Structure 1
């Protein structure tokens, strides 16, 4: 189109802008030098007069007081001096960033920063970790499904559709088991690192699933990297743990005392499962890559026997195992077989006199195409098996004759684990992070769903209790915050990185990794408009307050502006903001819809006059009093206090001001969500901190009425919904004015 043809080559345009900026800097330097020379000349002129006055005073015998001399004429402050008096600097990676103080703040130094009166309370957890964890779904007598994602263990009542949460873990939960009493739970976490990169120690929590009270914290300082598998004994209260060290240390702990009973190196190969023998707690079984081991624990010492495959092909992975009613061990492997293991008398002829009994394969049963990921023993000896490649669930009789089978839908992935509800109804965890509920007769429906890869795009609806997410799994999902369910989900060719709802609420725009973006109708899910800007990823989509413009921020350093008509269904290029020297990270519109504030990857804050043709406003001082319709820029005077001293510029991934303009939520790179007061313009501002994510938090967003905050993890694929509680009346301007006026009457320094 004409606009494209009229555009100058990008590189030339950028060079012109930088050249103009250098000219401005030279002009400023010349002005400063002229000002300094003027002051020196003034000083030289006044010095003789001052000496003459002093001589007169001596002759007349008058005391030499400073007040007796005439005050030298004072030059009015220069433009630069006035700006310096009304600005402060913050530093990121040693780079100074100038922030101009709004006119309504009279005493910046005396402003007091306090945490907001509002608090967050974990309300709902979206998602389940099935893609890379095993045996992590149980059904409790309370009617609750027990599973985990990120740092949270979820207790989800499948009929009442309510959630409770155990969130005492400090990093991602990796394994889970339930005691035979069906009350106590053991959950193990990974090691993780703190904000300085130092490793945190993994541990196992034993807790009461009724009260959510922690009964014991086991193994702090004993495990390396993380805890991979846990199992309770059936008689004496012992807990068996396998860590993620190179040797996969196998240890047994006294649950009541929290002390280690025994420990041994397991294997250098991956270990997938561990269990105590249901009839003899001195026997423990482990399985994993190319092995199944039978352990005996006596007087604090382990002895190990390897399962012998004999004439049977050794599979690459032994994925899972259960005990049959007769005491045999049944294993599921990567070849699709169920192997029945039993004790065999020693072959004295081959192994020599004194040889002991061995564990050998008694029977091989062909079960699935691809891996057998899970086995679940039911009462009466019936067995369930779940397949990987074929996505089948098969019910077997006690003598391993197939009785029923069904196949779960392809979009949910493979069967990861199965939990028995009542002998008929089942819960099925899948490799695409879903939990299904159903029976062989009626089929299965999803009761829990989630993303399966890193997420970055998050947007809340302007008037309804719904929000949209998108990520590297190429899924775009619309969620309901009241029903806590997925409304719909579509798949894209590329992965989505950012999104925003049109103010009229009928469409949503989604920016992709290729520079392409699309507009979706919320009701029909149809693409009503599509365009492409550059060939680099898009990082931000933002509609103007009245919906007449759409700003598209790209990694090619440009912000593309579109005219929006036909209720968000038609888009025509209006112009391009050209001036950033790095990729666009965040942007916001002014309340009047005429201006934009933007941040970039090299920590620039720029302002643009959109209606004047996407013109860069070189005098940033003039934008200090502008009011913003949203505040998501991580760099700006009003949010300067959210940054820790010495912060790397990537420490904060996203922030969002509430619609009430009373608080600002921050997504940091250390798995935490913070809640600050807004405005937050002073360093070392205090905040409320919240844990739950097990990965860098990529985005945060308040719902339309500020009743909830949504936060999104990156690699943990978890969405947390926080309820906002507490708080009082008054908006941010009243709060800032009262803080400013209170500071004039109080001589005490600001507390942080």
Structure 2
């Protein structure tokens, strides 16, 4: 924070120098204009004679220009090195940046309102008084910030020491006076529509009201949005960002908490909670002015006892938990909650003396009695794999639903423990393979997690953490062994029944994009981003492998691989859109087209090939489609594209730009697709959305 403050101070000083350079240039330009005007006026007067009673104006000279600039302060360079050079009457650093003369508005845009306010406080020349105070109604008036000259028919004001002359129109000049009071405009402004929603860093901030409106917030506005009527209402009681929101059990009263802020004059705006009526939009109560620190991050009404109590947590170092009798605007009790971030604060659904807070690595149960809060720490049967608690939702009875930071949802209670309800991946997901004879499939991704799922129960049968981020997976034809390729060049063999590690191998040091056993289980092909395919012989049902050789010939990384039905050869695609055929026994390329022309392929996962080329749209990029899969009955072909869509074609798909059904659901690129062994389901994986979607084939 000290470094930030020092950098901020240096930035302010730099902006001061830049602003004053602009002031200097503007003053110099103004002086030169006045000099030319004086010379022209003097020459004209001399030509027709000087009127009686008025002395001829003095001609402008270089000395008069210097006199105008006299009094501007001398400033040394920020870095303190080198003598200041003087421009007119102003000293600057030799390295000061040159800037065009700018208006006050354009200068101000370089500074935030808070920084501009602090700069004004530091600069004594910016201290001005109102033009309405001590103004003169005489022909020539003068205040500390405004000079009215009848002779010139002008008013000159000063912004940060810079003179800003303004000419008065002739029709107004005779009646102009600094003492004349202005009037308020007859029109007003009213907020009509607010765009946006704050969801990136706030929780539990979207509710449906009995009026049919949804209520949420963005910036310092609480929005009540009627979707049916396409109409918004706005609560505008806050003066800085709203951070949390809670609905009273009466579904009318709303509490919102805000962060600390500052006014444009630099005065602090303390964080607080506002209680307001969602029908009239009137403020009912304001709580905690001068009590909360930094921001109010959580609020919650008691669920029983008429909702008479409100709990709140601020963002101080101790994250103070406080309970309020909000109708009386009095604090009942407060206590230090946690050194870690607090994400949720809520009352027990039936007992107003019990509160629950949870956040990073903790969940606490608080009991309110005798004017104090006592704490009991909740202990979960929660494995580390699931991550810390993110949020808690109340179910029937004492049931709780716990959302975690690793995209899992647990169900249970403090007394009975918790079981997994929903599990997912937390980082980019590419690996997908289906079991050869069961309603099971495996997924693996950048989060180093390998899940074996049951498509019937929708739950993982087992999960395992591996040492490296995973990229690809493939089952042995027996289904008893699973190969997993990683991004480091290592690949693993896992026992699918015990999920024990069978073996670890390394081929190169780049990611393994594909691992595929031959249909007869005699070979394993490992395609790498080092442009090579490593071939292994397989024994003992996939539990023992020995490297046979490597296939060299591609000039780019391997992307996809398919085996022939009789395991006599395999075909590969590469990153430069090349199709090559290989003999696994010799690891040599098959160059004879006739040898593979009529080959029957066990799978169709290569995105390039005659049977699938219809998946490509006109003008498509070679990376637009990430994966393709043929159903086991050979009738369907599914593709996963880079635009969040899954396409379903008829197989073979060998007509240009073939027709397809298109399906959404993923929010990012779809990375992989596969059919279950009986073609009853198709599975797709999302990249950045980390999701797995299961599609019923009907």
TM range (shorter): 0.5 to 0.7
Pairing 1:466–2:446 present:
no
Question: Structure 2 CA distance, aligned partners of 1:513 and 1:331?
Answer: 46
Which of the numbers 339, 348, 351 marks the counterpart of 1:380? Answer: 351
Aligned counterpart, 1:614: 587
Q: How does 1:172-571 map to 2 (within 5 A)?
A: 223-224=195-196, 230-232=205-207, 236-242=211-217, 247=219, 250-254=222-226, 257-262=229-234, 272-279=243-250, 281=252, 283-287=254-258, 291-294=271-274, 296=276, 308=288, 310=290, 314-315=293-294, 318-324=296-302, 325=305, 327-334=308-315, 335-341=318-324, 363-377=333-347, 378-397=349-368, 401-402=373-374, 405-408=377-380, 409=382, 410-571=384-545
- Distance verdict in 2 for CA 1:637–1:404, change over 3 Å: same
1:720 corresponds to = 693
Match of 2:570 among 578, 591, 596: 596
Q: What residue in structure 2 maps to residue 57 of structure 1?
A: none
Whether the aligned pair in 2 keeps the contact of 1:272 and 1:287 (CA below 8 Å) is yes
Structure 2 distance, partners of 1:605, 1:660, is: 25
**662-671 or 613-622, which deviates more:** 613-622
CA contact (8 A) 1:697 1:712 kept: yes
> 1:305 and 1:438, CA in 2 relative to 1: closer, same or farther beyond 3 A?
same
Listed as ranges, the matches of 1:68-147 within 5 Å are none
CA shift for structure 1 position 340: 3.0
Tell me which residue corresponds to 2:176. none
Q: Give a deviation string over 1:641-697, Cα, whole Å, max 9, x none.
A: 111211122211111111111101111111121111111111221111122222211
After superposition, the Cα gap between the structure-2 partners of 1:440 and 1:594, relative to the gap in structure 1 and judged at 3 Å, is same
Determine if contact 1:433/1:450 at 8 Å carries over to the other structure. Answer: yes
Q: Is the Cα–Cα contact under 8 Å of residues 398 and 413 in structure 2 kept in the other structure?
A: yes
State the alpha-carbon separation in 1 of the partners of residues 512 and 502 from structure 2.
Answer: 19
Residue 678 of structure 2 corresponds to residue 697 of structure 1: no
Structure 1 residue 300, shift from structure 2 partner: 8.1
Mark the CA change 1:422 to 1:400 in structure 2 (over 3 Å): closer, same or farther. farther
Deviations 1:53-110 (A, max 9, x none): xxxxxxxxxxxxxxxxxxxxxxxxxxxxxxxxxxxxxxxxxxxxxxxxxxxxxxxxxx
Q: How far did 1:284 drift?
A: 4.5
Write the distance in 1 (CA, Å) between the matches of 2:534 and 2:282: 67
Q: Give the Cα–Cα distance (whole angstroms) in 2 for the partners of residues 696 and 556 of structure 1.
A: 24
For 1:7, the equivalent position in structure 2 comes to none
CA deviations over 1:105-134 (Å, ceiling 9, x no partner): xxxxxxxxxxxxxxxxxxxxxxxxxxxxxx
> Contact 1:475/1:491 (CA < 8 Å) preserved in 2?
yes
- CA distance in 2 between partners of 1:384 and 1:296 (Å): 23
Deviation at 1:273, TM superposition (A): 3.3
Q: CA deviation at 1:451?
A: 1.4
- Does structure 2 conserve the Cα–Cα contact (< 8 Å) formed by 1:607 and 1:620? no
- Structure 1 CA distance for aligned equivalents of residues 471 and 278 of structure 2: 56
Q: Provide the alpha-carbon RMSD of the alignment.
A: 3.1
Query: Is the Cα–Cα contact under 8 Å of residues 515 and 532 in structure 1 kept in the other structure?
Result: yes
Corresponding residue for residue 632 of structure 1: 605
SS at match of 1:429: strand
CA–CA separation in structure 2 for the residues paired with 1:369 and 1:227: 24
Change (3 A) 1:680 1:293: farther
Cα shift readout 1:183-238 (whole Å, capped 9, x = no counterpart): xxxxxxxxxxxxxxxxxxxxxxxxxxxxxxxxxxxxxx974488666544655443
Between 599-608 and 329-338, the greater mean CA deviation after superposition: 329-338
Gaps of 5+ in 2: 1-192, 262-270
Structure 1 residue 440, shift from structure 2 partner: 1.9
CA distance in 2, matches of 1:576, 1:482: 39
Q: Write the deviation string for residues 600-626 of structure 1: whole angstroms up to 9, x where unpaired.
A: 111111111222x12123344653322
The alignment partner of 2:351 has SS state of helix
Q: Normalising by structure 2, what TM-score?
A: 0.64
Shift of 1:294: 2.3
Q: Secondary structure at the match of 2:472?
A: strand
Q: Contact (CA 8 Å) 1:320, 1:373: kept in 2 or not? A: yes
Give secondary structure in 2 for the equivalent of 1:458: strand
Question: In structure 2, what is the Cα distance between the partners aligned to 1:660 and 1:267?
Answer: 64
Q: Deviations over 1:364-393 (max 9, x none)?
A: 223345122212321231444243343334
Q: Are 1:655 and 1:667, in contact at CA under 8 Å, matched by a contact in 2?
A: yes
Question: Match for residue 646 of structure 1?
Answer: 619
- Aligned match of 1:125: none
Q: Distance in 1 between the 2:397 and 2:647 partners?
A: 45
Q: TM-score, normalised by structure 1?
A: 0.59
Distance 2:649 2:220 in 1: 43
Deviation at 1:721, TM superposition (A): 1.2
Equivalence for 1:623: 596
Render the CA deviation track for 1:546-587: whole Å, top value 9, x for unaligned: 011001111111111111111111111111111111111111
CA distance in 2, matches of 1:257, 1:456: 43
Question: Distance between the aligned counterparts of 1:635 and 1:432, measured in 2?
Answer: 36
State the 1:319 CA deviation. 3.6
What's 2:642 paired with? Answer: 669
Greater C-alpha radius of gyration = 2
Contact 2:246 2:301 in 1 (8 A): no
Q: Does 1:585 align with 2:565?
A: no
Judging changes above 3 Å, is the alpha-carbon distance between structure 1 residues 318 and 543 closer, same or farther for their aligned structure 2 residues? Answer: farther
Shift of 1:343: 5.9
Q: Secondary structure at the match of 1:379?
A: coil
Question: In 2, are the aligned partners of 1:376 and 1:419 still within 8 Å (CA)?
Answer: no
Q: Is the 8 A contact 1:374 1:415 kept in 2?
A: no
Alignment CA distance shift 1:715-1:267 (3 Å): farther
Please say if residues 353 and 367 of structure 2, whose CA atoms lie closer than 8 Å, have aligned partners that are also in contact. yes
Aligned length: 485
CA spacing shift, 1:597–1:304, aligned 2, 3 Å: farther
Does the 8 Å contact 2:563/2:603 carry over to 1? Answer: yes
Contact 2:240 2:258 in 1 (8 A): no
Query: Structure 1's 440 and 620: CA in aligned 2 closer, same or farther, altered over 3 A?
Result: same
Are the aligned partners of 1:497 and 1:538 in contact in 2 as well (CA < 8 Å)? yes
Partner Cα distance (2:491, 2:284) in 1: 59
Report the CA distance shift for 1:467/1:280 in structure 2 as closer, same or farther (over 3 A). closer
Q: Shift of residue 397 of structure 1?
A: 4.2
